[in-house]
Structure 1
């Protein structure tokens, strides 16, 4: 087989790092290199800041020619992410799931290395799920099911990428590691036809790509019955932490009993090698998930996650508040109740549709030289551009079960137990939203103050002075927050305050020496500091500011 015969398929990629062992702080996680090499267990505040993502936005860009502003609007779909309570809950579930799966899979135990290679294969071949050297996992996995466009896959990917994908182990406490590569997570799509053979070959090809093995080329001609145990063996040998299969509704297209066979295999992965499995799909996947996999995860402790479309509540408003800042029209439209209502009505609380509608409306306004977006313009764009999904949105808008059932991707059959669970979930949602608001700020003013003060403190300003300066500058420019360089103004004011304080207290000069703080906006330190706040590497920040040239410019 030539190298050109290897099929191309997509699987999600993450970071590759060398092991840095840290105390996991919990006794049941200690003395296991797979667990000690993971990042720390984060609290909700840390998760909020790690997940939040803001597009680049400068008020001066509103003066750019229309053809350039059209491209600026595209940043929203690429970079905008507003953490919500469901994201915190999902991150906690994944954190527990990965760690619980590793508890009984310590590669330094005397019989693990040999049996991981040999028994995983033989036990799967025999259909025997006893006698494997792992503890029975309490976290078998869970299903993440929800309406199309609600952000299941993108949110899950953001959370997974908070963890390294591959960790290279060399020595642990002076001892050679029998399994040098630890694949923390692997996310891939279920084949469109529900093919077991396709899933196994894609899995082996993904492992080859990550750790340099040759599973695919050695086994490409084998049958599904031969490939399933090989997949289990590879997962065991390379210490896979969690396997995520997206688009699981494709099992509905599987022929014969392939759907049941594949789901039963996932159960065997859990029972045999302790590998947690997360299945992701639309409501269309529910019939396939209501068999063996449901039984296997019944006592998992994590609970399945069902993501319904948003209600018109505080979380919906919170999402729009974050989105509304990014307007490149001639004038900005202030978010009010009318906009909140019309955005909900036209998207039916489906976040992906709302974000795309917001972008489409801006593009229409720029193209037609309309100075700002209006509720009427939003409705007009929805009427013209959401034609294909309008029947599904109309069904949701009607609230009639018989209408909604026609669209399998948006339909959810709700039992009384599900209803009670949803009431509990709404209470937890309110608590988590409070954490998010506290961390990022309740409104635009508070968010601006928090961001400015954090930036000043990082630049070397004393905390009290930083907060006071940020408050004063924000208050003074409340109606032009995006039209002035707030960082430069706040830094100038903070320096004045510190210099004044230092001149009044000469005895304190030696004790409170300040860092050398840049005060000019074109100072390289200011540029890299601002880039860091937007999670940009220093190189990218300097390149965006025009300080790094393309080397090809200097050739020939």
Structure 2
């Protein structure tokens, strides 16, 4: 089903168009074993969309269609532009085409999809884009490219990234001269971004998807900023909706750049951690389970569902790989025994998963723990601050429940007071953390720290404190203040500025008193910390 005019299609129609399942032939369990093995392997191409995936695909297709309508409304002024010619080389090959009458800002149609590896992000994007013709002919104008998808190189540079895009233009348009003109060995990297933008406008590029955007972490600062600037300009100047796809490792990098931070908050943005073990996940597993090619059917049970979730932790690609390996192992049993094999059991699934995912056990254990600190040890699993706080609150709640169960049930009055005290402590711990971090952010804002530096300092200063920020807010703020002083000392040495004088709040000796004349916002926050700490103590 073509979704080219996706604005007229419902979410349910989009779901059907992106779903993909193997065909179960009649008497499929009686087919030769080799044929059944191939059928099991075909599950790699299956795609069973979740609600969040269907909604994202619908929004993506709507963005492509809306972007096209906006550009068409702008029109073309008949101005023919020759790309690739310079004053120094007037006889060199050029690439010509008509340009739009005016630029179109489609930044509101751009977005970012971040999520754990093996959550099916790339599969979803590919399935959704394939419902739209990639190229279309236009009378009197250059061929239109409705969408383009590029994967960010592992070690990207502005030149390698632009060359990837030139390769895509050349392949899609069937014009290898684009490589010769724009991506030859003499090409100047500083001119490449503007040429990419001009080609995108000339061919009315409908959407650019950049996958594996987390790889930008490995670029040097100049190249990283250059690529992010190119993507922002494609969206705001060339009218190209830009969709960034990657792991949570890319999120902080994007948040540090104001122009790209907006991508993370648009209607076309989402963050996918693991799928919870809820009705949506169970429906996914039950649908997958129907595609079974063993000689004897094994009905799905609650035990099997629980073992699959425990092994895969809600990561869809792992669930598919596990089910494939389970079936292939059973087919091998049939082959060796001459036609029969034991039914699939929860224990067998657990054993198979242990062997299949041995290299991933540390990552899976971190996900199972729900501990933000353990997850943060792996860049691609590191939760955002808001998610980390939610996970910590959930962990605190579990500890609270555990304490309730361990309390002596015979002393009713003591149990009730213990529960009240725990609830009180949790509330004030969160409040104390929030107020202390507010003060720290203001100290760093006064010193003009960049956004990414602020987040880094907050995490670094809290990392080695027992009990986190709330465990010792004074020590936390002393570390922040020392960091600010060192930062300003280095900056003043470079610029020759006089040292900044702060209104008092926290002294290096740990005393939470006010400096003389300290009656401003920082002082008020210090009083708030003192009041909160006193109340919770």
User: Normalised by the size of structure 2, how large is the TM-score?
Assistant: 0.64
Q: Deviations over 1:13-72 (max 9, x none)?
A: x99xxxxxxxx9xxxxxxxxxxxx746631122112212222022252322333332222
Corresponding residue for 1:408?
379
**1:48 and 2:19 matched:** no
Distance 1:138 1:252 in 2: 23
User: Which residue of the other structure, out of 134, 137, 151, is the alignment partner of 2:120?
Assistant: 151
Distance 1:117 1:277 in 2: 25
Aligned residues: 369
Corresponding residue for 1:546?
none
Compared CA separation, residues 76 and 367, structure 1 to 2 (3 A): same
Corresponding residue for 1:518?
none
Corresponding residue for 2:438?
none
Distance 1:204 1:322 in 2: 41
- Please give the residue correspondences for 1:219-368 in structure 2 after superposition, counting only pairs within 5 Å: 219=182, 220-221=184-185, 222-292=187-257, 295=260, 297=262, 301-368=266-333
Please tell me whether the aligned partners of residues 185 and 242 of structure 1 are also in contact (alpha carbons under 8 angstroms): yes
Structure 1 SS opposite 2:20: coil
Distance 2:266 2:219 in 1: 30
Q: Deviations over 1:515-552 (max 9, x none)?
A: xxxxxxxxxxxxxxxxxxxxxxxxxxxxxxxxxxxxxx
Cα deviation for residue 271 of structure 1 reads: 1.7
Corresponding residue for 1:109?
75
Compared CA separation, residues 159 and 396, structure 1 to 2 (3 A): same
Distance 1:115 1:412 in 2: 49
Cα deviation for residue 115 of structure 1 reads: 7.8
Corresponding residue for 1:183?
145
Please tell me whether the aligned partners of residues 117 and 233 of structure 1 are also in contact (alpha carbons under 8 angstroms): no
Compared CA separation, residues 251 and 138, structure 1 to 2 (3 A): closer
Corresponding residue for 1:161?
130
Corresponding residue for 2:54?
88
**1:139 and 2:102 matched:** no
Corresponding residue for 2:452?
none
Corresponding residue for 1:217?
180
Corresponding residue for 1:73?
40
Please tell me whether the aligned partners of residues 241 and 275 of structure 1 are also in contact (alpha carbons under 8 angstroms): yes
Distance 2:70 2:18 in 1: 30
Distance 1:247 1:43 in 2: 29
User: Normalised by the size of structure 1, how large is the TM-score?
Assistant: 0.62
Structure possessing the higher radius of gyration over alpha carbons: 2
Corresponding residue for 1:192?
154
Please tell me whether the aligned partners of residues 283 and 410 of structure 1 are also in contact (alpha carbons under 8 angstroms): yes
Compared CA separation, residues 264 and 412, structure 1 to 2 (3 A): same
Cα deviation for residue 282 of structure 1 reads: 0.9
Cα deviation for residue 107 of structure 1 reads: 7.5
List runs of 5+ in structure 1 lacking aligned partners. Answer: 1-13, 16-23, 25-36, 122-130, 171-176, 421-556
Please tell me whether the aligned partners of residues 104 and 237 of structure 2 are also in contact (alpha carbons under 8 angstroms): no
Distance 1:418 1:169 in 2: 52
Please tell me whether the aligned partners of residues 40 and 293 of structure 2 are also in contact (alpha carbons under 8 angstroms): yes
Cα deviation for residue 82 of structure 1 reads: 1.4
Distance 1:275 1:402 in 2: 38
Distance 2:261 2:381 in 1: 26
**1:394 and 2:359 matched:** no
Compared CA separation, residues 381 and 398, structure 1 to 2 (3 A): same
Compared CA separation, residues 215 and 293, structure 1 to 2 (3 A): farther
Distance 1:138 1:287 in 2: 20
**1:62 and 2:62 matched:** no
- Please give the residue correspondences for 1:391-470 in structure 2 after superposition, counting only pairs within 5 Å: 391-415=362-386
Compared CA separation, residues 273 and 419, structure 1 to 2 (3 A): farther
Please tell me whether the aligned partners of residues 372 and 388 of structure 2 are also in contact (alpha carbons under 8 angstroms): no
User: Which residue of the other structure, out of 341, 344, 350, is the alignment partner of 1:373?
Assistant: 344
Please tell me whether the aligned partners of residues 372 and 383 of structure 2 are also in contact (alpha carbons under 8 angstroms): no
Distance 1:117 1:107 in 2: 24
Q: Deviations over 1:199-218 (max 9, x none)?
A: 11111111111112321111
Please tell me whether the aligned partners of residues 74 and 102 of structure 2 are also in contact (alpha carbons under 8 angstroms): no
Distance 2:189 2:203 in 1: 21
Compared CA separation, residues 115 and 96, structure 1 to 2 (3 A): farther
Distance 1:310 1:69 in 2: 30
Structure 1 SS opposite 2:61: helix
Compared CA separation, residues 298 and 396, structure 1 to 2 (3 A): closer
Structure 2 SS opposite 1:182: strand
Distance 1:203 1:305 in 2: 25
Cα deviation for residue 96 of structure 1 reads: 2.9
Please tell me whether the aligned partners of residues 15 and 54 of structure 2 are also in contact (alpha carbons under 8 angstroms): yes
Cα deviation for residue 161 of structure 1 reads: 0.8
Q: Deviations over 1:187-229 (max 9, x none)?
A: 0101111221111111111111111232111121212211111
Distance 1:243 1:323 in 2: 32
Structure 2 SS opposite 1:162: coil
Distance 2:283 2:63 in 1: 29
Distance 1:64 1:137 in 2: 53
Structure showing greater relative contact order (alpha-carbon pairs closer than 8 Å, 6 or more residues apart)? 1
